[in-house]
Structure 1
């Protein structure tokens, strides 16, 4: 079972992001993420033996009990690895202290369960497109930059929980299902 830990995005933010990236024509070699799949990944676990799920959920419950709800702000569009050869187009969110600490704690606790620790610093973002054709990816990114305005960066939402998600790969894209919700209760 393929799993990851994430923060879900409210529907009104999903709609805003969809309108931001929407083009009337498709671009060869650019796969737009389905609106319903927009999220912030806190930790990708990969293929997980179902027998580990109780340990994972118990650990995540303990983590969520140590955090209070907090606000995240949409910041700006970006790409990985760079704007000349984009592989992923994303919309950033503010890297608040609460968010960074939550991601760090999840990473540390999941390592104690045998999952690989992240090598790089956590970068809060919402993936909106995956790119195989660099030229078209660069074109889409430039369109998004033009549409993104100061008003866009005033969008905020309240984080009141994180979730354990199951990802099923299909020829039409990934299907995400929430396995369990972990409310922030501190």
Structure 2
């Protein structure tokens, strides 16, 4: 009996996947896309909440405000447009005077984006990254000295990364390295 139900459930699962794949392919056909998908819905325009848009997408005001807070916006009037996209995600574009300052606003040209390269992870050296950078363990241990660490203390390094300036940045697992004070309060600490 149970085996028969599993077979039926598997059959329906396969059917759902096939229907999904067919519909996703049909959305690429220009003439069929409007029949299958909904167009983006405006939720805020010019700082004013579009109540009709909220009703259309079945989103409460509280949900919208929560989503906007998650995106870093606390004041709806700071937003030029908020849209629920075809895929259900929400895009928020701030008014020009409320958007984050860009380097081009100050006629600056920032250096290219750089991803720090891990050289030590959980007390273990990442040898292939050292090789990629054409560095060796002697260089690595010399860099550790600037953090008052020697090779015997490698196990204390949680993460060591090669930064854009060509130096090693280290985070250790030593809790005494973390500063105390009101700006470093951690919820749950005994006061």
The answer, yes or no, to whether TM exceeds 0.5 is no
* Structure with higher strand content: 1
Larger Rg, first or second structure (1 or 2):
2
Q: Under a length normalisation based on structure 1, what TM-score does the superposition of the two structures give? A: 0.18
Higher normalized contact order (CA 8 Å, seq sep 6+, divided by chain length): 1
Q: Under a length normalisation based on structure 2, what TM-score does the superposition of the two structures give? A: 0.18
* Structure with higher helix content: 2
